[in-house]
């Protein structure tokens, strides 16, 4: 049994083609950011480089090292890339991609916080600043908990995943035998304490990311309207920065 086999080669060709096309874009973006010399822009530039490198790394992982395959309608994910060929478990690969995704979400929040600071002269006196800072600390705590728990319970989680795969095969005997492979991870939050914990972390990260980014965008747009009396150049620059941040995040 080949645990890395798949019948959907079109998906991988699409992923590899997209990665190949995006490679020069990422390269140009990173080089351009590195060449920017501005003391005011320095910290924001580092956030942008960090965010871009994480996105680039995720594309490399998904296109070559992970190659995740779903077995709909079963709640499982089978990794068929280089990591699986080297013998890494599905749980480890889930741990890697989860860490990268959470880093992306965290970098987004840091960029929005920086953008808020840049727009407000007295930002420390704003209640909204306290809200954004609290979100940053929640991010850090949540990601730390994610790393700590998954590292400390890795062996236990491996046994639990093996049990989940066997139960899945018994419940769905007509399914492909590959679902019992060690590079498969089963999402069973109601029957697996570790999976349930990771689901809660995912919900916290998603909720904070969506609420803080939307709230910050609305707040800054409102602030721009209230300060429309400023010079046209300043207002236009603020709008451009807000728009560029939104594009960066959605990208």
Average pLDDT over all residues of the chain: 83
What pairing do the DSSP bridges indicate for beta strands 184-186 and 68-70?
Answer: unpaired
Binned at pLDDT 50, 70 and 90, residue 161 comes out as very high
What is the per-residue pLDDT for 40? 63
pLDDT in tens, 6-17: 666 666 777 777
Lookup: tokens for 244:
């560029």
pLDDT in tens, 192-216: 888 899 999 999 999 998 898 888 8
Binned at pLDDT 50, 70 and 90, residue 233 comes out as low
What is the per-residue pLDDT for 154? 95
* pLDDT(238) > 90: no
pLDDT in tens, 106-143: 988 888 888 788 777 788 888 999 999 999 999 999 99
């Amino acid at each position: 049994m080949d645990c890395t086999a798949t019948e959907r080669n079109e998906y991988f060709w699409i992923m590899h083609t997209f990665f190949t096309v995006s490679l020069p874009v990422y390269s140009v973006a990173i080089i351009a950011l590195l060449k920017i010399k501005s003391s005011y822009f320095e910290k924001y530039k580092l956030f942008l480089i960090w965010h871009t490198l994480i996105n680039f790394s995720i594309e490399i992982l998904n296109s070559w090292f992970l190659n995740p395959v779903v077995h709909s309608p079963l709640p499982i994910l089978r990794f068929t890339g280089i990591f699986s060929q080297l013998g890494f478990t599905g749980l480890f690969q889930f741990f890697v991609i989860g860490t990268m995704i959470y880093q992306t979400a965290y970098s987004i929040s840091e960029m929005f916080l920086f953008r808020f600071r840049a727009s407000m002269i007295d930002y420390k006196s704003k209640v909204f600043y306290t809200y954004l800072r609290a979100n940053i600390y929640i991010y850090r705590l949540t990601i730390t908990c994610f790393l700590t728990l998954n590292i400390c319970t890795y062996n236990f989680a491996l046994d639990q995943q093996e049990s989940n795969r066997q139960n899945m095969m018994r419940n769905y005997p007509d399914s492909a035998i590959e679902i019992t492979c060690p590079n498969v991870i089963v999402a069973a939050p109601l029957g697996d304490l570790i999976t349930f914990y990771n689901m809660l972390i995912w919900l916290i990260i998603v909720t904070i990311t969506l609420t803080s980014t939307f709230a910050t965008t609305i707040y800054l747009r409102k602030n721009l309207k209230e300060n429309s009396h400023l010079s046209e150049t300043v207002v236009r620059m603020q709008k451009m920065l807000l728009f560029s941040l939104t594009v960066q995040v959605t990208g």
